[in-house]
Amino acid sequence: MAEIVEYTAERYFGRGGRPRVVQDMLGESPCWDHRTDTLYWVDIAGMAICSYEDQPKKLSRWQIGEQLGFVAVTDDLNVLIFGGAGGLSLFRKADGHITRLYHPEQKVHPNNRFNDGKIDPAGRLFAGTMDMHKPRKEGVGALYCMQCNKLKKVEAVGPVTVANGLGWSPDNLTFYHTDSPTRSIRAFSFDIRTGAVHGPAKTAFTVAEGVPDGMCVDSEGFLWVANLRAAQVLRVNPTTGHIVARIRLPVPLVTSVCFGGPYFRTLFITTAMGTTDADIAECTDANAGYVYAVEVDIPGMPMSPLKLDGREEWLAGGGSLHLGRVGILAREVMALLGTHDAPRSLEDSQDVQPVSEKYVDDITQEPVWDKTPVCLREGGILSWVRPSSERPTLQ
């Protein structure tokens, strides 16, 4: 067997920059938009969508108000799609407008949320669900495909417990999917014309230690697998199941990966402080929760955007809300409002208005990235936001 190629990942600060970033509680789902040189990811426990735009250097964090599983780009540069406890939703970056699309398991499995999701090369969304409470129920999750404004269950994958890493081979003939508790990645036949996934499934790889989490596929068809609780990312030959390369990280909870950067030779890696509230609260690891990056020898492939068929109907429809992106000092807001009330269910909030610019400006002193989330109230409506900045100072 050939020798395993070894890499070491380092904290990602962008080219020539060192932004003041928030340490994610549970970073996940990195996604590179090659059209704007922007890296997106989510903080599941922090309930936020994050982005770093390389040119010009711009770090953003949008507080969404629910546990998130993934974020992906669309064919509209101003619109993202994300999945989480509230189902599948569109997010408009310019004004924080959120449009609810689908929540297929709300009545059958109310404790389920969307976890990992990705766009296939034809512009369809594939996203899976899981029970978000522990002890976690087995086999109550599923994989879904969204195209042409319709959502359908991918029956070939069957019931899953924690729908996780997914990807496609360079020839688009194979679809890979991970159900983390099984510790295995399965390979299915795939029809790029229709988006159909066919069994029987074959086991492409089973991890010997830790848990397989997020993954991506490079231009040679090899899998790059985030190895949760093992402080590493593995490059795997899906035909033989052999490990051919390894990326070492200084943090055990390695959650997901994606290719990006110039020529798609940069592998971005998200990490976590913990996977439960208790773990996060007790975490003392200064390296945990940050985005890491490493230059690799084999390039990846561009991530396709979601095709927004009927976008006018989606973005103008009801059942939407607005969440402002603001920079404020938490202690001042809490002193003014005197509240830690929890927000209403997003399902009950049909028209949540953003906090006015004037009000925010009155209590803003400077960009702050390391304060706790605060609750802003206007007209009886609650929105959770995390102190943030349009353009943080680069150190």
- Which residues does the annotation mark as catalytic? 213
DSSP state at residue 2: P
H/E/C letters for each residue in 163-195? EEEEEECCCCCEEEEEEHHHCEEEEEEEECCCC
Give the sheet arrangement for strand 223-228, strand by strand.
Answer: 5-8, 243-248, 232-236, 223-228, 211-217
Distance CA 47, CA 68 (A): 6
Distance CA 56, CA 37 (A): 9
Give the sheet arrangement for strand 97-102, strand by strand.
Answer: 68-73, 79-84, 87-92, 97-102, 320-322
**CB atoms inside a 10 Å sphere around CB 350:** 11
**CB atoms inside a 10 Å sphere around CB 247:** 24
Distance CA 26, CA 68 (A): 10
Burial 147-157 (b: 16+ CB within 10 A, else e): beeebeebebb
Distance CA 326, CA 368 (A): 10
Which is it for strands 150-153 and 163-168: parallel, antiparallel or unpaired?
Answer: unpaired
